[in-house]
Amino acid sequence: MVKVVDFYADWCPPCKMMAPLIEELEKELVGKVEFEKVNIDENQSRAAQNNVMSIPTYLVMENSKEKNRLVGATSKDEFLKFIFK
């Protein structure tokens, strides 16, 4: 199964803007895509391991390998294209 890892912080305005979209997609894509949220303030080592320099950063993982990366806020249509590229 494809996994989307969402690197975010509670103080980040673009992260807050994307949160409702991510929640909506989590519900719509149940059984197709797994979502994982990683708060970079609480998990700095994980952010560093994945070379996350800006937030929000989204990684599409397949078989534990990074398949695609998106940095910044975007539309629902663009986010879906990013996931299934």
Give me the pLDDT at residue 46, please: 97
Distance between CA atoms of residues 76 and 61, nearest Å = 19
Active site residue 15: yes
pLDDT in tens, 14-50: 999 999 999 999 999 999 999 999 999 999 999 999 9
pLDDT in tens, 65-78: 999 999 999 999 99
pTM of the model: 0.95
Question: How many structural domains compose the chain?
Answer: 1
List the domain range (segments joined by +) for residue 17. Answer: 2-84
From 4, 15, 40, 47, the catalytic residue: 15
- Among candidates 15, 35, 17, which has minimal Cα distance to 26? 35
CATH of residue 72's domain is 3.40.30.10
Give me the pLDDT at residue 79, please: 97
From 4, 6, 8, 12, the catalytic residue: 12
